[in-house]
Structure formats: structure tokens, C-alpha cells
Structure 1
Amino acid sequence: MRRLELVADDLMYPESPRWRDGRLWISDVHAFRLVTVGPTEVVCDVSGRPAGSGFLPDGTLLLATALDRKLTIWDGTALRPVADVETDGLLNDMVVGPDGRAWFGDTGFRLGLEQPRPGRILTYTAAEGVKVAAHDVWFPNGMVLTGNELVVNESTANRTSVFEVRPDGTLRRDRTLVEPGPFPDGLCRGADGSLWIPLFQGGKFVHVTAGGEMLEEIDTGGRVAVACAFGDGALYLCTAETTMADLREGRSRGYVERLSNL
């Protein structure tokens, strides 16, 4: 049977979990801080609101900030800006490839404050800076990279999409993998190629095969499902007791749970 173990319940809104060196790093988005959990320790405050992140080959953390639209690097002692991003939307989730190239979402609009419109996926390397990888992506959110394909949740389109990665880092839309339910958020991939997809508005995590066939669901007990990540042989699930209206007022309580008997 599945057994969920509580890891943390003292967060506000846990996003972009990344496992590294025995710790789970998390953007505690609406608390404006970068943390590690188990127990919770604050790495640094992030005034621009932390969003997607990923570890570069040298072990430093690349972090997107949503509100001031910057890419920054946490070098162990301080956040250092490396690029400004021109957009009317917000910066969102991210994935970093083994060669250090990052892809991250530009939402295209401010959720809950404006009418939805298409956003973009952007790509970054230290040598090239930031450039557009794909246009007309509907609220690009959780991302995973597998070979020459980038799998992306398009939250306001309620679908998980696959893009072909070209040699220069730009993307070609290939296919819709699955329509898992309302507002798919973060995303992670298991060793067998299957995907775990949190449904923010659905209150559950869905598990699908690499081909998009449904395997199982995990109910959140009324919380919103935010993000997930593998680490140390377990699946970590990030949830929050909140609503979109409450988030705008700064009301939320975030949780991280560990599913160890996969």
C-alpha cells in the first residue's frame, strides 16, 4: 500500500522542488524565499518572488524570479543576477539540461488578474543569454527533458505537450501527450519514463505512462496539487491549503509529503 510521510508543513506555497546532495530545494513562492526542507531551512530571501529553478553542471542553482523577471544564480553565498527578461507576463517553471541549457516559461499574462493569452518558452545559456524557444504556449508550467524532447504542462489549455528540441535549443511543437485534467502545474518524470502531473484545480496527482495512458491517481484531501520531484528513491509531493483568491491576499499553508514505497 502507498504510505505518505509528512516532511514539512511550515511552508506557504512550495514550488519547483529539486533534489540535490541529499536535500530537497524548494521555491517557497509566496513567502518570497528559497528553502530546503526536512527540516525547513531558509537558504535566502528572494524579493522578486522565486519561481522555476534548476542546477547547472557546476552545482550552482539557476533561479527565475517571477515579478522582476530575472534569471539569477545562487552561488552558495548570494543571489547574483545573470539576465533580465523582457515580458508582460511572469517567469514560471524551469528545467536545466545536462549541458547547462535552461528552458523556462513566460506565462504571457498575470493569472487571476488578466484574460488568458499565449505565453512563450524561453531558453538560456551563459554564452547566448536569453532567446525565445517557442511562441504560443498556453501558460507554460512544469517541464521535463528527455532526450531531444521537452515535455511541458500548458496549464490554461489543460494539456501536457511534447516539443522537439532542435540543436540550437529552440522548440518545435510535436504533439499533445495527454489531457490530464484542469490546470496541470508542476511535473516530474520517473526512471521508467512515466510522468507524475499535479492538477492544481483537480486536487490530485495523476500518474501516466510515457505514452500518456493513465496509471493511478493520488488525492490531496482538498489541497491544491502544486509540484512533485523524485529524490533518494522517493516521490515528493508539494501541496497547499489555499485558493487563487487567498494567494492574492497572502493566505496559504504549504506541505511536502514523501511517497516512499513506489
Structure 2
Amino acid sequence: MTADSIPPRRVETAVASTDILGETPLWCDRSRKLWWIDIDGRLHQSFDPATGAHHVTSYDCQFLGSQALTTDGSHLLARNLTLHHRSTGRDPSDQVIEVESGLDNRLNDGRVDARGRLWIGTMDNQLHRPNGALYRVTGDGQVARIFSDVIVTNGIAFSPDNRTLYFTDTRRYCTWMFDFDLDDGVISNRRVFADYSASKERPDGACVDVDGGLWTAFFSGGRVVRYRPDGTIDTVIPLPVTNPTCLSFGGSDLKTLFVTARKFLDEQQLSIEPQAGHLLAIQGVAQGLAEHRFLSAHSDLPPC
């Protein structure tokens, strides 16, 4: 079966931001906003589709690497190698957990499972050494290293039935899948899901839809693709930007695919890719799933 191709004209600008490295878009069903970060700009941003409002908060750190929603309504922000809360009325420098130390790494992609645990990885700041690892973090501060030998963590996602975890190492050009035990928080049976080691294409951030399709952004590839659960590609969406980084479904019906992008573009490339630092939106290609929330130690609420 030939993959469907969506015309580039359907890719719109949601916010004409000037991100250096836009990443980790997440839809919050409570605030009804799309939240994302600019890693290199150290910015935490929100977009309200109902009003068009775009709000930006800057942080004093080297990298603002990732984020997660929490049960207490705050955001968990990855600053360098440490997780912090961002919440109105709480000191934004309130340290939560030091995930890793002593290496030239930073925290990168992560995702919360249906039991409120954060699965987050580190990456090599020089983009070629296997210094990184995947971690499982709980709200009471426990950090477990799941496996190491990672160059650049990306594409962490869970299947709708919570039985599969997807994981990508962008600089190894490969996405793997694991059997996932939701109750025990254990993964096993690692196997290749999509291998681009021959072509050196770079799968980056990912999310899943209600039918179990895995959507992946291809950095340096100018496209996002949808994989069926069996690993075959059935949809390709060309983008007006070379370096898409991550994607997430949002909007009140979770039918808008938001995409972040840019990094490593010179002024000449930016002049022909005016949307490269924007938050992009693609309407109606699929329906996503609500993000799970980190079971914060500050909250007695269950994950939802």
C-alpha cells in the first residue's frame, strides 16, 4: 500500500514564534492550551487557540530540555539534568529531582505513563557519544536507570492499550519497541520498530493516535510520518521546514497535530523557510490521546 501524502498547504502557522529549538509540545486539557519549549532559548511557552494568546516564560539555565504535565496542575520542567516545578504561587526554582550528574549530558525527551511515572532520557551534548540513558522517575523522587548506551533520547511514546513503549535514539537512526508492564513499570523484549541506519535519516519526537498509529517527526527530513502498529508507513506529511523536532495532538477534540521545528539552519536557509521557528498546526489528520500527568508529590489527585 502506498503511503498517503498530505499537501504542504495544509500545514499552517499556529504561532509565529522564533524558536531556536522548539520541542515537546503538549496539550493541557485543563487550561485548554498547547504548551511547548524552546530548548536553546530556555523558554516555556503556551498558546490558547480560543484567543490566540501566546505567553512566554524564560528560565536561567543552559538547556530547558523537556516538560510534563502534573496532577497538581503545575508543569515539570527539565532544566539541564534536574527536574523542577513551574507553578503559579510556587517558587519556580523549587528543585524536584536530580536525574543524572557528572556527565556532559542534558535531559531531553520524556513522557508520562498511565500510572503517573515519567519516562525521560538524557543525551550527549556533543551529539555523538553514547553517554545517555533512559530513566523512570516517580513523584516521590525515586529515579531508576532503565538502560544506557544512548546518544540522543527521543520519541518516547506509549500505545493506547499501555502494552508497548516506543523509544528512539535519533543519532543511532533507529526506533525500538518494548513490551510494557503498566502495573510494575517494567519494559522487556526490546526489538527494532523502524531502522534508518543505512540511510542515516533521523527520527525525532513522536506521539500516538487513538488507533495506535505512531507519528514521528524526521529531523533533516522535512516531514512527519504515521506508522501502523506493525511498522508500515501509511501517511507522509511534507512540511515547509527542514528540521521538524516533535509533535503532539491538541485542540478541544485532539484532532490538531502541532509540530515544532528549527535548529542548525543558517540565515540563507531561514530566508527560504520562514516557518522554521514557528509552532505549526495540521488539522484533521487523526485524533490523539490525552496526555497522562506526572503523579506529583504535591498532589493527592490520581493521574488523569
Higher relative contact order (CA 8 A, sep 6+): 2
1:45 deviation in Å?
2.6
Q: Which residue of 1 aligns with 2:279?
A: 256
Residue 133 of structure 2 corresponds to residue 81 of structure 1:
no
Structure 2 CA distance for partners of 1:138 and 1:29, relative to 1, 3 Å:
closer
1:227 deviation in Å?
0.7
Q: Which residue of 2 aligns with 1:188?
A: 207
Which of 148-157 and 214-223 deviates more? 214-223
| Alignment of structure 1 residues 221-240 onto 2, 5 Å | 221-232=240-251, 233-240=255-262
Normalised by the length of structure 1, the TM-score is 0.86
Structure 2 CA distance for partners of 1:110 and 1:210, relative to 1, 3 Å:
same
- Partners in 2 of 1:237 and 1:76 — Cα distance? 27
Equivalent position SS for 1:178? strand
- Partners in 2 of 1:245 and 1:81 — Cα distance? 36
Equivalent position SS for 1:10? coil
1:231 deviation in Å?
0.7
Structure 2 CA distance for partners of 1:201 and 1:216, relative to 1, 3 Å:
same
Residue 146 of structure 2 corresponds to residue 133 of structure 1:
yes
Structure 2 CA distance for partners of 1:164 and 1:154, relative to 1, 3 Å:
same
The alignment covers a number of residue pairs equal to 251
Equivalent position SS for 2:240? coil
1:183 deviation in Å?
1.7
Equivalent position SS for 2:203? coil
- Partners in 2 of 1:224 and 1:86 — Cα distance? 28
Q: Which residue of 2 aligns with 1:34?
A: 44
Letter in 2 for 1:74: R
Structure 2 CA distance for partners of 1:18 and 1:222, relative to 1, 3 Å:
closer
Question: Which structure has the larger Rg?
Answer: 2
Structure 2 CA distance for partners of 1:128 and 1:84, relative to 1, 3 Å:
closer
Which of 176-185 and 29-38 deviates more? 176-185
- Partners in 2 of 1:222 and 1:71 — Cα distance? 30
- Partners in 2 of 1:128 and 1:31 — Cα distance? 28
Aligned counterpart for 1:14 among listed residues 22, 29, 34: 22
> Which structure's residues are more often strand, by fraction?
1
- Partners in 1 of 2:146 and 2:185 — Cα distance? 7
Structure 2 CA distance for partners of 1:245 and 1:135, relative to 1, 3 Å:
farther
1:61 deviation in Å?
1.5
Any stretches of 5+ residues in structure 1 without a counterpart? 247-251
Structure 2 CA distance for partners of 1:29 and 1:43, relative to 1, 3 Å:
same
Letter in 1 for 2:264: T
Provide the aligned C-alpha RMSD in A.
2.4
Normalised by the length of structure 2, the TM-score is 0.75
Any stretches of 5+ residues in structure 2 without a counterpart? 1-5, 268-273, 286-304
1:199 deviation in Å?
1.0
Structure 2 CA distance for partners of 1:137 and 1:211, relative to 1, 3 Å:
farther
Per-residue CA deviations over 1:224-243 (Å, capped at 9, x if unaligned) read: 11110001221111122x41
Residue 82 of structure 2 corresponds to residue 70 of structure 1:
yes
Equivalent position SS for 2:210? coil
Q: Which residue of 2 aligns with 1:198?
A: 217
